[in-house]
Amino acid sequence: MKRSGFAIIAAIGLVGCGADDRLMPLRMGNEWSYDVKTGLPESVASVKITREVPVAGITGYELSGPMGVSRMAWKGEMLVATVLGNARFHPPLPLLNSIEEKQTTKWSGRMYSQGRTFEAQATLSQESTPLTREGRKYRAIKTVMLIRLPSRELEIQTWYAPGVGILNQVQRTREGGEGVGRFDIELDYLSGP
């Protein structure tokens, strides 16, 4: 069975331009390193902003890493993505609101992955929450993205910290939409801008 590898974490791609990008301090050439856990031996992956690209009718960025490419931009106060790993989204998928710390955003559209087209719906919830990593305390924003596809649901939990970006991210897949779900991948922040 193939895993859906399009998760945000697949390319660790969140970029900022124009909006308050303090939650993802992004500039051309910025690079992040993460400890990657997939159920196999742990590894370290780096993701780098490599070029400007059009995203959602505005200038965005392409991030490249060993798990794929992502294309994202700030559209107003919302961080959106048209590509995450091996998946494309139309309209762009919302990932984070830079202003509203507690909110829920709905999305409906198409996801293109592994040569197939899926009708999909998503709910993005976010709220402010403290998080301690490696003994350091952060005032983080936690997002929970639930993407509903015809035969499964993907849940992606992400913690963002000002000046750092993604601190931690976990993806699970639920076949048939029930239960806790199968662990897919986890990222833990090691270093970055």
Nearest to 187 by CA among 26, 67, 27, 30: 67
The whole-number pLDDT of residue 178 equals: 62
Is residue 2 in a domain?
no
The whole-number pLDDT of residue 3 equals: 43
CA 157 to chain centre: 9
Q: Are 45 and 12 in contact (CB under 8 A)?
A: yes
Is residue 1 in a domain?
no
Going by pLDDT thresholds of 50, 70 and 90, the confidence category of residue 111 is: very high
Q: Ramachandran region of residue 8, left (φ > 0), alpha (ψ -120 to 50) or beta?
A: alpha
Is residue 71 in a domain?
yes
> Is residue 71 classed exposed, middle or buried when 0-12, 13-18 and 19+ CB atoms within 10 A define those classes?
buried
Question: Which string of DSSP letters, residue by residue, matches 80-121?
Answer: EEEEEETEEEEEEEEEEESS-SSEEEEEEEEEEETTEEEEEE
Mean pLDDT across 73-101: 90
Q: Are 19 and 74 in contact (CB under 8 A)?
A: yes
CATH code assigned at 55? 2.40.360
What does pLDDT average to over the chain? Answer: 84
Q: Which domain holds residue 74?
A: 8-191
| Encoded amino acid at 59, one letter | T
Over the stretch 138-187, which tens digit does the pLDDT of each residue have?
Answer: 989 999 999 999 988 999 999 988 888 889 999 999 886 566 678 899 98
Over the stretch 10-32, which tens digit does the pLDDT of each residue have?
Answer: 444 433 344 557 776 667 888 99
* Residues contacting 19, CB < 8 A, separation 6+: 74, 76, 77, 78, 79, 98
Residue 57 predicted with pLDDT over 90: yes
Number of domains in the chain: 1
Tell me the two tokens of residue 187: 């990222």
Is residue 3 in a domain?
no
pTM of the model: 0.84
